[in-house]
Structure 1
Amino acid sequence: MRVFICYKKRLLRQEEGVQVVQDNTKAEILHYILAQHEEYEPWMDDAALMAGMRWETEIYRQILASDVLLVLIGPGTSRSEWVRRELALATALGLAIVPLGFELSDEEMVAEVKALNLADRQYVMTRNIALARGDALILELAGALDHGARATAERQGRRRPRRTKARDDQRAAGFELPGGVALHLASGDIARVRGIDALVNPENDYMQMARFFESHTVSSLLRRRGATIKAGLYVDTIQQELDWQLRERGRPVQAGEAFATSAGGPGSDLAKVNRARAILHVAAVQAVDAESKVIPYKHPHQIQAAVRSVMAVLSDINAAEGVFSPPATPQRAEQERLAALGDGRLRSVILPLFGTGQGGAETSEVIRPIIEGLVDTTELVPDVREIYISCYAQEDLDIVAREVAVRLA
Structure 2
Amino acid sequence: MAAATQLRRSLWVLVAAATLTVMAGAILGPIVPQIQRELGVSGSAAGLIITTHGGVIVLASPLVGALVDRIGPRRPFVGGLLVYALGGGAGLVVDSFYPLLASRVVLGLGTAAVYTSVTVLIYELYEGQAMERALGYRSSANSAGAAVWPLIGGAAGALAWNAPFGVYLVALPLGILAAATIPETRSSSEADDATADGRERTDEGPGGVVVALAVFRDRPTLPLVYLLYFGANALLYVIVVFYPQFLAGIGVTSSFDISLYLAANGAAGGISAIAYDRLLRYTGRSTLVFAAFVLWTAGFGIATAVGTAVGAALPVLLFGLGIGLVFPSTFAWVEAFAPPDRQGQFSSYIASFGYTGQFLSPVLFGAIVPIAGIGGVFVAAATVAGIAAAALGTHRFTGSSF
* Structure showing the higher strand proportion among its residues: 1
TM-score, normalised to structure 2, is: 0.25
The two structures have a TM-score, normalised by structure 1, of 0.25
- Name which one, 1 or 2, has greater alpha-carbon Rg: 1
Relative contact order, CA 8 A, sep 6+: which one is greater? 2
